[in-house]
Amino acid sequence: MPIPLPSSRDPSWRVLLALTVGLGLTAWFGTLSREIAVHLDTVWRDSASHPERTFAMLLTPGTGEFVLPPESRGVLRLLRTYDIASFDLSPALMGNEFVAQRTIEGTWPRRYEPGARAYFMTTEEAVALPATTRRAEYHGIVLIRRD
């Protein structure tokens, strides 16, 4: 006699799915933080009870950017604010491989180009620069326009 599978509305099914994915993430990344588990559970509950929200979220600009590091979000915000198509990152930002990779990925279709006029650096790096050379600043990221 086959074992009946629970329906997608049954809470035990979501728990089983969350545990399965959680174990897979734990095996893959070596850890599963409580925040990730709570977030996944919230998303799954919401998507099971309101599937139209899930599809709307996929079509919403900026969805998922909360997972980017703060430096990447700062660069992205300034790129959008000033409608910049290509940019360059300072040695400090490029030196952190995680931040550099996520910034370049997260800012697509904008291009990372060494030597571009739009130059991003951290506020710590920009301390030595006169305030007149700074174009904008957002959450620890400074935008400089190179001429």
**58-90 residue pLDDT tens:** 667 777 788 889 999 999 999 999 999 999 999
What's the pLDDT score for residue 28? 58
**14-68 residue pLDDT tens:** 666 666 766 666 655 555 566 666 666 666 665 556 666 666 666 677 777 888 8
Report the C-alpha gap between 23 and 88 in whole angstroms.
39
Report the C-alpha gap between 60 and 5 in whole angstroms.
33
The domain spans of the chain are 11-59, 68-145
pTM of the predicted structure, to 2 decimals: 0.60
**113-143 residue pLDDT tens:** 999 999 999 999 888 887 667 788 888 999 9
